[in-house]
Amino acid sequence: MKNKTIFSAIISGLSLTLTLLAVTFVLVMGELTAKKGELDNVYESSFYSFCDNVNNLETDLGKLTVARGSADSIGTINDARAHAQSAIDSYSLLPLDFSSEQSCLKFLNQVCDWSNSYAKAVAKGDTDEYAEGAEKLYKCAKELNSQLKEIVNKVNGNKIARLSGTELLGNNLVDLNLSVKSLSVEYPTLIYDGPFSDREEFVAKALENKRAISEDEAINIAKSQLNMSGIEVLGKSDRKVAVYELSGKVEDREAYACITQKGGYVSLFLCNCDEHTGEYLSEKSIEKLMKVKLESLGYTNMQAVWKNNNDGHIYMNFAPKVDGVIYYTDLVKVRVAQESGKVEGIEASGYVSSFTKRDYKAKISKAQAERGVKLDDIILTRLAVIPSGTSERFCYEVHGIYNDEQYYIYIDAITGEQVDILKVIGSDQGEVVM
């Protein structure tokens, strides 16, 4: 009997020990799984950060192939160095063998060193030898970016953490076995970019000396100009400019609008259109419709300066053209349903902020501006006003081709300085200007 009791005690002890071990195992495995999940997220974030920085680096180096090597190139040189360093930082977090990192890291470090040297040479005014270097580095960045895009396409649904045993460049990142939650890109605002779509200053120059309107007048504008019904005044707001905030419907769709308290401009309008006809209007037709629509809203002499087609929606940026000068500072952005031609969005903060009468006079000729750019072929040269920090610059916009790539180069029409370079980047939805 005594032995039986001892045996039962031993069995009970073993059972308790096994239970504790099982619980410990589950807890440890759970912790390991959680840590592995965290690691997966780090790898995924690092991989896409690396891809973004290489893409930006290609753009920077492309701009430097057509830059003049003067003081106005410093910003682009610094951008190239910053994107190369950020790419190195992201790349160092990926689980790759040290031997596989050499060729890629060597290139990125060379860009950093070259950029530092280039910036010093600009200060001394001795940059002739850097033009060839920009060409070589640009070709390398373009090749690297191209390979990364192929890799991203291969990923298509697997998890980024499965990177062990892979190799990068020289041999490509291959046999990834990875996965991604989403390859979509989210834009931070209703209507994405185009050149000069973001501004640092907001003064509401277009509203100076305009008459103040009442709530009833704002409601009437929303009814007559935006076809809104069942309108409710949500209140007044003056975060950037004083507006009446209105909600209502356009047909059976929820709509929201901001009408400026001075002048009665539609500064913002949102209304998603779910109507599907199966027939798509051309971009040219939509451009004509929008010019008429903007005219009716008080935005006159507008010209489309950027277009993008994305999943059945046409995005367009319009700028006023006055006396032959395009004002990129005074943008009105629209979004239109391509099937119905109905307006889904209007955003006019650029126009409201900046539109006013200017009196610019060019001091250099068109020919002088064109002589100051490095392009194989010039497509178009015209006068334009572009944002510059909290101010603006009066420039010649020179659109042309260099090494089969499109560029917009901006030369100050007063001083002849090179002010900015934008590069046209191909995308699935058309062309993006960076």
Q: 280-293 pLDDT, tens per residue?
A: 888 899 999 999 99
**Beta 325-327 vs 377-388: how paired, if at all?**
parallel
> Which tokens belong to 404?
């089969």
List, in sequence order, every residue forming a beta bridge with 381; answer none if it has no partner: 398
pLDDT band at 434 (very low <50, low <70, confident <90, very high): low
Query: Is the pLDDT assigned to residue 378 strictly greater than 60?
Result: yes
Residues 6 and 151 in one domain: yes
Q: Which residue has the higher pLDDT, 417 or 117?
A: 417
- 389 belongs to a structural domain: yes
The predicted pLDDT at position 187 comes to 23
- 199 belongs to a structural domain: no
Nearest to 394 by CA among 386, 402, 404: 386
The domain in which residue 326 lies consists of 205-354
Which among 182-186, 250-254, 314-318 has the top mean pLDDT?
314-318
Query: Is the pLDDT assigned to residue 75 strictly greater than 60?
Result: yes
Residues 144 and 249 in one domain: no
Choose the final residue of a domain: 354, 389, 413.
354
In the predicted model, what is the mean pLDDT of residues 366-385?
94
Residues 307 and 338 in one domain: yes
Q: Residue 245 phi/psi, 5° resolution?
A: -95, 125
In the predicted model, what is the mean pLDDT of residues 340-350?
87
The predicted pLDDT at position 111 comes to 84
Our count of domains for the chain comes to: 3
Which among 49-63, 131-145, 342-356, 405-419 has the top mean pLDDT?
405-419
CATH number for the domain that contains residue 108: 1.20.120
pLDDT band at 166 (very low <50, low <70, confident <90, very high): very low
Cβ–Cβ under 8 Å, residues 257 and 269: yes
CATH number for the domain that contains residue 419: 3.10.450
The predicted pLDDT at position 13 comes to 54
Query: Is the pLDDT assigned to residue 164 strictly greater than 60?
Result: no
The predicted pLDDT at position 194 comes to 57
Query: Is the pLDDT assigned to residue 353 strictly greater than 70?
Result: yes
The predicted pLDDT at position 300 comes to 92
Give the least confident one: 91-100, 256-265, 340-349, 374-383.
91-100
Residues 219 and 293 in one domain: yes
Residues 144 and 63 in one domain: yes
The predicted pLDDT at position 196 comes to 65
Collect all residues with Cβ–Cβ distance below 8 Å to 309 and sequence separation of at least 6. Answer: 283, 315, 338, 429, 430
Report the C-alpha gap between 309 and 434 in whole angstroms: 17
In the predicted model, what is the mean pLDDT of residues 234-262?
86
Token pair 């070589």: residue = 136
175-230 tens-digit pLDDT: 333 222 222 222 223 333 456 665 544 566 777 778 999 999 999 999 999 999 99
Residues 36 and 146 in one domain: yes
Residues 210 and 339 in one domain: yes
CA dihedral 56→61→67→71, nearest 10 degrees, is 80
The predicted pLDDT at position 280 comes to 83
**How far apart, in Å, are the Cα atoms of 287 and each of 277, 316, 336, 345, 395?**
19, 8, 10, 14, 26
Residues 256 and 350 in one domain: yes
- 63 belongs to a structural domain: yes
Query: Is the pLDDT assigned to residue 387 strictly greater than 80?
Result: yes
Mean pLDDT taken over the chain: 76
In this prediction, what percent of the chain has a pLDDT beyond 90?
Answer: 26
Residues 279 and 399 in one domain: no
Residues 380 and 414 in one domain: yes
Report the C-alpha gap between 106 and 123 in whole angstroms: 26
- Answering whether pTM is above 0.85, one says no
Nearest to 413 by CA among 426, 399, 395: 395
- 124 belongs to a structural domain: yes
Residues 66 and 24 in one domain: yes
Give the least confident one: 14-28, 171-185, 276-290, 292-306.
171-185
SS (H, E, C) the chain: CHHHHHHHHHHHHHHHHHHHHHHHHHHHHHHHHHHHHHHHHHHHHHHHHHHHHHHHHHHHHHHHHHCCCCHHHHHHHHHHHHHHHHHHHHHCCCCCCHHHHHHHHHHHHHHHHHHHHHHHHHHHCCCCCHHHHHHHHHHHHHHHHHHHHHHHHHHCCCECCCCCCCCCCCCCCCCCCCECCCCCCCCCCCCCCCCCCCCCCCCCHHHCCCCECCHHHHHHHHHHHHCCEEEEEEEEECCCCCEEEEEEEECCEEEEEEEECECCCEEEEECCCCCCCCCCCCHHHHHHHHHHHHHHCCCCCEEEEEEEEECCEEEEEEEEEECCEEEHHHCEEEEEECCCCCEEEEECHHHHHHCCCCCCCCCCCHHHHHHCCCCCEEEEEEEEEEEECCEEEEEEEEEEEECCEEEEEEEECCCCCEEEEEEEEEECCEEEEC
- 171 belongs to a structural domain: no
Residues 124 and 215 in one domain: no
Q: Which residue has the higher pLDDT, 368 or 272?
A: 368
